[in-house]
Chain A
Amino acid sequence: MIDYIKLASSKSKGKRPYFHNDPAVERVLNITMAVAGELAVMRERMDTIERLLEKKGLVSQEEIDNYIPETKEEETQRQTWHSEYISRVLRIVQQEMEELENPDKTIAEIANDINKM
């Protein structure tokens, strides 16, 4: 099977533009925005759960607080989630490494190339 977690965060062709004077700002901003996204995802999921619980009157707050994974499969599912999550949040670091390994032309240079194609 393909390494779908790594591939999902691949960079696209062309040198990445940076807009802040210090590229570190860009890096941190990208990580922060990804975290912001994941917080929104979690908020939506909690919203779903709370609405379902409320509708069905099924699970108590205490049960949730005390829950730990019960099977190997549950453990694996949880750890896979973390692995995907971290790759998503740290996308820019992976892409900078890819650029380092494979230095790219700027899009303006590519535009000039393409203009001759």
Chain B
Amino acid sequence: MAAKNLPPVWNKIAKHAMLPETNHDERARYNFLSNLNKHLAHVSQGNKVAFEKRVEPTFVKNNGRAIASVDELGEAISKDSHYQIWSSLRRSTMEMRQQAGRSIVLRQAEELRDKAEKLNKGKSTLVLDPNCKVPEYLLAVDNHLMPGSYHTELIEGDVTPAANYDSGIFVTTAGLLGRFNDGGGKAIASWVKKTYTDFAPKRILDIGCGMGHNVLPIAKAFPDAEVIAIDTGAPMLRYAHARAIDLGITNVTFMQMDAAMTTFENESFDWIQSTMFFHETGGKSIYKIMKEIHRILKPGGLTLHIEQPQYTNDMSLFEKFIRDWDALNNSEPYWSKMHDIDPKELMVSSGFKEEDFMQIGAKAENDLDDGSQKADEPEDHGRSPIWNVFGAIKN
């Protein structure tokens, strides 16, 4: 009998010229971590049981009333032994994932840099700007426990932050985003083609493109479009561009630019996309960026943003608490604050019309899905390939 819901072995990841070399033990280490992640999603189910069976009853007994807020719930559950062991194991797994990825890429930092330089040399489709400042909210934290974040260069021309991100996301998501980790971009490209059959964008902008996982499927789906992908992290852009070239995708220009203050002309894009971007920004910047999007989007243009699932009013306190666990304990702090922003309000205050606002659900298109990844698997909060997409057509 075969075990249920096994994650794919790491070597299923799609190969390209920039993917770091891995040896046997490095791949085995990633395999262990994928399985540990899957396992902990099951252990997480015990939190709800512990909460209902002992945390809540004890609180009611001691206080003569129900738990009133997420903070109160967090305080109460923090003393529960199951919550403690699950939390510490999950934190430890995420740190181990970073350690494993960095030990692969840092030992070959120079080789990876040279590979990128060779592919990027003389190309006008990579535009780095040494004067571009990394936003202060990115300097304040290492998102998802990634030491040095997206911008730190340990050697000149470094690409290791991107190489680490690329090789490791397959582990944290247990392969659910597909062989190219591009299930989100694929899903949005298909949705747009299906929904707007006549839509033929000439210029597309992807903001916070990272190492380009999700912009490439869009560029592929619209090969006649001029696609521009911006990020503030030079290592991400170098790697993204080299990877795109190696994968034969040539209609994307990668530019180092802050999305809050781009150099693009008013009304110059037909489609502006972001994927898993806004929850890694900041409380003021999020508004600046949305206003900038409104400024550079053409009338009749489309903007869409793939984000973490929203809080809803009918969610229990427990659900809200557990969904926020990653924000604080996997270092994605702005995610815990973004809940207070209504995406519709964000867009309307940036100039979009209320009646033009739209919100849809999206699920990753996974080319590895052979039916063995069952829908009855527990949801891995913060990492499941199911998102909230919001946006508008500018009128």
A-side residues, CB < 8 A to B, are: 1-2, 4-5, 7-14, 16-21, 25-26, 29-30, 33-34, 37-38, 40-41, 44-45, 48, 84, 88, 91-92, 95, 107-108, 110-111, 113-117
Contact = CB atoms under 8 A, between A and B. Distances in A.
Given A2-B155, A29-B88, A13 B142 contact: yes
Interface residues of B, number: 54
Of the candidates B33, B96, B327, B333, the one having the most CB atoms from chain A within 10 angstroms of its own CB is B333
Given A19-B83, A107-B329, A114-B137, 18 more contacts: A4-B109, A12-B141, A12-B142, A13-B331, A19-B85, A19-B88, A19-B91, A29-B88, A34-B92, A37-B32, A40-B31, A44-B25, A44-B28, A91-B95, A108-B333, A114-B282, A114-B337, A115-B282
A16 B32 CA distance: 23
B146 interface: yes
Nearest to B146: A12
Q: What is the interface of chain A mostly: helix, strand, loop, or mixed?
A: helix
A98 to B, nearest CB: 10
A86 to B, nearest CB: 12
21 contacts: A5-B103, A7-B154, A8-B99, A10-B102, A12-B331, A13-B331, A14-B141, A14-B142, A17-B91, A21-B84, A29-B89, A30-B88, A44-B28, A45-B24, A45-B25, A88-B103, A95-B95, A111-B328, A111-B333, A114-B141, A117-B137
B203 interface: no
Contact of B28 (A40, A108, A117): A40
Nearest to A88: B99
Q: What is the interface of chain B mostly: helix, strand, loop, or mixed?
A: helix
A66 B102 CA distance: 35
Contacts of B106: 2, 4, 7-8
A93 to B, nearest CB: 12
B283 A116 contact: yes
B32 A41 contact: yes
Of the candidates B33, B103, B154, the one having the most CB atoms from chain A within 10 angstroms of its own CB is B103
A30 B155 contact: no
Which 7 residue pairs are nearest across A and B when measured between Cβ atoms? A115-B283, A111-B333, A12-B142, A4-B106, A8-B103, A44-B28, A117-B282
A14 B32 contact: no
B303 to A, nearest CB: 23
Nearest to A95: B95
Contacts of B29: 37-38, 40-41
Given A33-B96, A37-B33, A110-B141, A14 B103 contact: no
Interface of B: 24-25, 28-29, 31-33, 36, 78-79, 83-85, 87-89, 91-93, 95-96, 98-99, 102-103, 106-107, 109-110, 135-137, 140-142, 145-149, 154-155, 282-285, 327-329, 331, 333-334, 336-337
A14 B89 CA distance: 19
A10 to B, nearest CB: 4
A38 B333 CA distance: 31
A91 B96 CA distance: 9
Contact of B337 (A10, A16, A84, A115): A115
A38 B99 CA distance: 13
A54 B159 CA distance: 41
A92 B91 CA distance: 11
A116 B137 CA distance: 9
